[in-house]
Every structure is written in structure tokens, then in C-alpha cells.
Amino acid sequence: MAIPGDNLPKRSRPAHGVQPRAGQPTIIYLTVCTKRRTPWLATPEIHDLLVRTWQGATAWLVGRYVVMPDHLHLFAAPGTPELPFDNWVKFWKSCVTKTHQNPAHEWQVDHWDRRLRNDDSYEEKWNYVRNNPVRHGLVSRAEDWPFQGELNSLSW
């Protein structure tokens, strides 16, 4: 028996186009990787630069986040001015690149995002994300990882 969707082509790139829905909370779970998964993100300098950039790029507000050596995860909700999510991601990646000015430190061209369905999903995803450094053997307890935080309280 055929399973619905089995005949659909597999995506090699993520689908984009996250848009806020009027009258409904919007929280997006985002993953961004470095090019070739080169480990350059988890340093005090880059962590500080990311935080400053996100604080100034207010079209989407960053909630909780974890910066790993070769990728980062964050949760975001719409801010002001209105800007499509994909444009916002490209904007802050570009700002970080221009400010950091290290040609060896490049971003993967694309990113992965997913709209969360409810508050339980936010907490569940956060618990998974915050334990990433433990699963990768970088620390023994999630709270010991220095490259994480919460810039804005995102609520459902």
C-alpha cells in the first residue's frame, strides 16, 4: 500500500515564507549553520556580536538562543518594522559578516525555520536546544554553556 506523500520529491532546501497570522501568536524556531560547518561561532567575541546585532535588528525579536561552534538555534517573534522572516535572517547574517570581517568565517547560504504551534512546543523545543552542548560533549550541564541566553520573553 502506498503511503501518501511517498511520491513527492525530497527537498534539498528548506521551505521558507514564514508570515505572522493576524490574531495568533507567532514564534519561529530557527537553525543557522556556518559554511561547511566550520566551528567559529562559539567565542565570546562572536556571541557578543550576535547579541548586539539581534538587539538592533528589531523586525523580529530574539527570545531564547544557543550558539554552538558551527550552528545556532534561536526562537523569534515579529517585532517592528514588519519584515519577512527570511529577509531578517539575511540581514543580521550580513551585519555580522560585515562587522566581524573574517573572510574564513562564512555562513551557510540557507537556514531552517519552523513555526511553533503552541507554548508546549516552545518549551519542548527549548529543552531540546538548551541541551545541545551537553549532547555534543561540550559541557556536562546545559546551564554551564556560556553561549546562550534570552533577549526577549516570547509568550504564547
Confidence (pLDDT) at 3: 46
Specify if 143 maps to a domain: no
Confidence (pLDDT) at 156: 72
Confidence (pLDDT) at 17: 61
Specify if 19 maps to a domain: no
**Residues 6 or more apart from 77 whose CB is under 8 A from it?**
25, 26, 27, 28, 60, 61, 63, 152, 154
Mean pLDDT (the chain, rounded): 89
Specify if 48 maps to a domain: yes
Residue 94 belongs to what domain range?
Answer: 28-136
Specify if 141 maps to a domain: no
Specify if 23 maps to a domain: no
Task: For residue 107, give the CATH number of its domain.
Answer: 3.30.70.1290
Judged against a pLDDT cut of 90, whether residue 46 lies above it is answered with yes
User: How many whole angstroms separate alpha carbon 71 and alpha carbon 33?
Assistant: 4
User: How many whole angstroms separate alpha carbon 148 and alpha carbon 140?
Assistant: 15
Specify if 2 maps to a domain: no
Split at pLDDT 50, 70, 90, the class of 4 is very low
Rounded to two decimals, the pTM is 0.86
| Alpha-carbon 20 to chain mean position | 17
What percent of the chain clears pLDDT 90, i.e. is strictly above it? 77
Q: How many domains, the chain? A: 1
Judged against a pLDDT cut of 70, whether residue 139 lies above it is answered with yes
Specify if 7 maps to a domain: no
Specify if 3 maps to a domain: no
Split at pLDDT 50, 70, 90, the class of 126 is very high
User: Which tens digit of pLDDT belongs to each residue from 88-123?
Assistant: 999 999 999 999 999 999 999 999 999 998 777 899
